[in-house]
């Protein structure tokens, strides 16, 4: 049972901007723990997109950006491209019940 809640799907036309929310609580995001975002493409290893809320690893296009406020975080994709069609998951740490790493419910991004 995922601790972090994401919308099941978002969609946009090529070139548009889409945003994915990740809502947690006071034992994870709201407690100040960092949020990561990962991209899951079929047949490939998942990829780190954003770490520590707002940082992009080397090689990730600047079309991807992250933010965090209160008990939520967001991933934005600007200038949407066909290759961005994938599943996206947020991830953080949770201090309750000795749970460590927790993931979001996942969001399917569809490029129209």
Residues at the contact surface with another protein, assessed by CB under 8 A: 1-2, 33-34, 36, 38, 43-48, 51-52, 57, 89, 91-93, 97-106
Of 39 and 80, the one with the shorter C-beta distance to another protein is 39
Q: CB of residue 51 vs another protein: minimum separation in angstroms?
A: 5
Q: CB of residue 10 vs another protein: minimum separation in angstroms?
A: 17
Of 78 and 105, the one with the shorter C-beta distance to another protein is 105
Of 44 and 82, the one with the shorter C-beta distance to another protein is 44
Q: How far is CA 36 from CA 12, 15, 27, 103, in A?
A: 23, 24, 16, 9
Q: CB of residue 93 vs another protein: minimum separation in angstroms?
A: 4
């Amino acid at each position: 049972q995922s601790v972090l809640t994401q919308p099941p799907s978002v969609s946009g036309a090529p070139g548009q901007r889409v945003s994915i929310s990740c809502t947690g609580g006071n034992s994870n995001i709201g407690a100040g723990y960092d949020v990561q975002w990962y991209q899951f493409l079929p047949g490939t290893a998942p990829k780190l997109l954003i770490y520590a809320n707002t940082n992009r690893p080397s090689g990730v296009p600047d079309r991807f950006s992250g933010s965090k406020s209160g008990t939520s975080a967001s991933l934005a994709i600007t200038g949407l491209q066909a290759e961005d069609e994938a599943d996206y998951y947020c991830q953080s740490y949770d201090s309750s019940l000795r749970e460590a790493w927790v993931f979001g419910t996942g969001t399917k991004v569809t490029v129209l």
